[in-house]
């Protein structure tokens, strides 16, 4: 029996986005959790899937619903976590890596903003296992544009449901408000977890894939 629960977030710490906007957004998120549990608790009965087909079938609907709701839950967990309850001053190992890689903090913010304005779902700062470098990935929906073995660091929801109540069509204003709420302690924690993981992988697999960051 799968019984995933929605996580709780400190929305009172968010500045510049109304409680009503955040509460409505949270309701959508809890809906993804409910549907994911429903999908995962659907027993596999072979007789129910004799129509399997890549155009339209019960299995196709189930699998599309699974990735949409699963990615929806994960992305919202990470998004709400990285915009609540913390130190909003850019700092730490991740901040240094951003300067290193993007040239300046302003360039990074400009790039992130333009990705956010250009996509319909998400802008995600990741560190990718293929090169151990930072990348800003754009996605039109929860399960579109997702990259395997890429580690999420900063998640920004740019669906209209994330801001329309407060900002109308002014998505750039929402993005700048979101950026002011980023919890840099959460970001640095994620970044350090990835580095630790990459170092273990390199040791275990004797790989020489260069990780430019060192925790120790
Ligand atoms: Fe959302």
**What are 60-111's pLDDT values in tens digits?**
999 999 999 999 999 999 999 999 998 999 999 999 999 999 999 999 999 9
Contact assessment for residue 191 and residue 215, using Cβ atoms and an 8 Å cutoff = no
pLDDT lower than 50: segments of the chain: 208, 216
How confident is the model at residue 201, as a pLDDT?
78
How many other CB atoms sit within 10 Å of the CB of residue 50?
9
Q: Is 155 exposed, middle or buried (0-12, 13-18, 19+ CB in 10 A)?
A: buried
The alpha carbon of 142 and the centre of ligand 1 are apart by a number of angstroms equal to 9
The alpha carbon of 94 and the centre of ligand 1 are apart by a number of angstroms equal to 25
The alpha carbon of 66 and the centre of ligand 1 are apart by a number of angstroms equal to 17
The alpha carbon of 204 and the centre of ligand 1 are apart by a number of angstroms equal to 37
How confident is the model at residue 203, as a pLDDT?
66
The alpha carbon of 159 and the centre of ligand 1 are apart by a number of angstroms equal to 6
The alpha carbon of 145 and the centre of ligand 1 are apart by a number of angstroms equal to 16
The alpha carbon of 116 and the centre of ligand 1 are apart by a number of angstroms equal to 13
Contacting residues for 107 by C-beta, under 8 A, at least 6 apart: none
| Angle subtended by helix axes 92-102 and 184-205, to nearest 10 | 80
The alpha carbon of 210 and the centre of ligand 1 are apart by a number of angstroms equal to 35
How confident is the model at residue 216, as a pLDDT?
40
How confident is the model at residue 211, as a pLDDT?
63
Long-range contacts of 199-205 (CB under 8 A, 24+ apart): 201/129
How confident is the model at residue 119, as a pLDDT?
98
The alpha carbon of 42 and the centre of ligand 1 are apart by a number of angstroms equal to 25
Residues that place a CB less than 5 A from ion ligand 1 = 157, 159, 162
The alpha carbon of 162 and the centre of ligand 1 are apart by a number of angstroms equal to 5
The alpha carbon of 49 and the centre of ligand 1 are apart by a number of angstroms equal to 32
């Amino acid at each position: 029996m799968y019984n995933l629960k929605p996580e709780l977030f400190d929305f009172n710490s968010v500045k510049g986005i109304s409680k009503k906007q955040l509460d409505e957004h949270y309701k959508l998120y809890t809906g993804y959790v409910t549907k994911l549990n429903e999908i995962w608790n659907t027993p596999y009965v072979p007789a129910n899937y004799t129509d399997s087909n890549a155009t339209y079938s019960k299995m196709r609907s189930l699998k599309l619903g699974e990735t949409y709701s699963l990615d929806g839950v994960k992305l919202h967990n990470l998004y709400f976590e990285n915009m609540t309850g913390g130190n909003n001053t850019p700092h730490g190992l991740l901040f240094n890596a951003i300067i290193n890689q993007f040239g300046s903090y302003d360039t990074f913010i400009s790039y992130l903003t333009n990705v956010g304005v250009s996509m319909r779902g998400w802008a995600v700062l990741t560190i990718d296992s293929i090169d151990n470098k930072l990348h800003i990935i754009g996605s039109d929906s929860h399960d579109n544009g997702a990259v395997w073995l890429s580690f999420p660091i900063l998640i920004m929801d740019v669906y209209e449901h994330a801001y329309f109540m407060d900002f109308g069509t002014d998505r750039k204003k929402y993005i700048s408000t979101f950026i002011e709420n980023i919890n840099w302690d959460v970001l640095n924690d994620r970044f350090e977890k990835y580095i630790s993981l990459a170092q273990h992988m390199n040791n275990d697999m004797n790989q020489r894939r260069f990780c430019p960051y060192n925790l120790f």
